[in-house]
Amino acid sequence: MNEGIFDRQLQEHTEIFQKSKLLILGCGGLGTNICFMLAKSGVNNIKIVDYDTVEYSNLNRQIYRMKDVGRYKVDCFREICDEFFPFANIITENIKIDDDNIDGLIDDHDIVIEALDDANTKSIVVEHFIGKSKKLITASGIGGIKKLDIQVKKMDNIIVCGDFKTDTSQGLYYPNVMMEAATQAIIALNLLLEENYGQTDIR
């Protein structure tokens, strides 16, 4: 029941997106914005996981409200998604990713998107996908306020995007975070089309 929300998209694309299942690891600046873009593109089944709470410093770039500060991110984001996307099946889970649970998390999802800010957990995720067939989209470098030169690199089943030179010590600003989130979302949508049509625009 979308009441014409996706009428401006190609119907055959929307049908592919609606039957797909994506997993987003991280419910922060990248994860919340990626989820919004994918749901607004018609991806009907999205799971997003995190274990952190909302802080005031998150509000400059993450989809949260002042009243959410101090609460678990996934609980707040669940409420927000219920309001914005009653037509989508968006599941949130409060969990910290580790070596013991990552297998169970990624099962039954077509594509996994890494949107984490913890270097150790990010490393666990990337290393887990090396040599696997399931696709992982990960990010590297979105710091600063200057022009963000996003590059996309493919390493078998792992796709990395970012400027590969900045870090959070240069500040985190919403425009740069949004550019990176949009790049990851576009890559995910292209991969879904590639699986159905056998071609993609990802370089």
Confidence of residue 2 (pLDDT cuts 50, 70, 90): low
Average pLDDT over all residues of the chain: 93
Q: Name the pLDDT band for 1 (thresholds 50, 70, 90).
A: low
| 181 lies in some domain | yes
Tell me whether residue 172 is in a domain: yes
**What's the confidence (pLDDT) of residue 71?**
98
Write down the pTM of the prediction.
Answer: 0.94
Domain tally, the chain: 1
- Residue at 4 is within a domain: no
**For 145, how many CA atoms within 13 A lie in the half-sphere containing its CB?**
3
Nearest partner of 111 among 43, 59, 203, judged by Cα:
43
In this predicted structure, what is the pLDDT of residue 203? 44
Domain assignment present for residue 3? The answer is no
Residue 202 resides in a domain: no
Secondary structure E strands in 40-150:
45-50, 89-94, 111-114, 135-139
Measured CA to CA, the distance from residue 186 to residue 150 in angstroms comes to: 13
The residue segments making up the domain with residue 60 are 11-197
Band (pLDDT 50/70/90 cuts) for residue 199 is low
Asked, for residue 5, whether it belongs to a domain, the answer is no
Beta bridge partners of 186: none
Distance CA 95, CA 167 (A): 25
Q: Where are the beta strands (DSSP E) in the chain?
A: 21-25, 45-50, 89-94, 111-114, 135-139, 151-155, 158-162
Is residue 201 pLDDT above 60, yes or no? no
> pLDDT tens for residues 95-119?
999 999 999 999 899 999 999 989 8
Residue 98 lies in a domain: yes
Q: Which is more confident, 46 or 149?
A: 46
> Domain of 67: which CATH number?
3.40.50.720
Task: Read off the pLDDT of each residue in 156-172 and give the average, rounded to a whole number.
Answer: 92
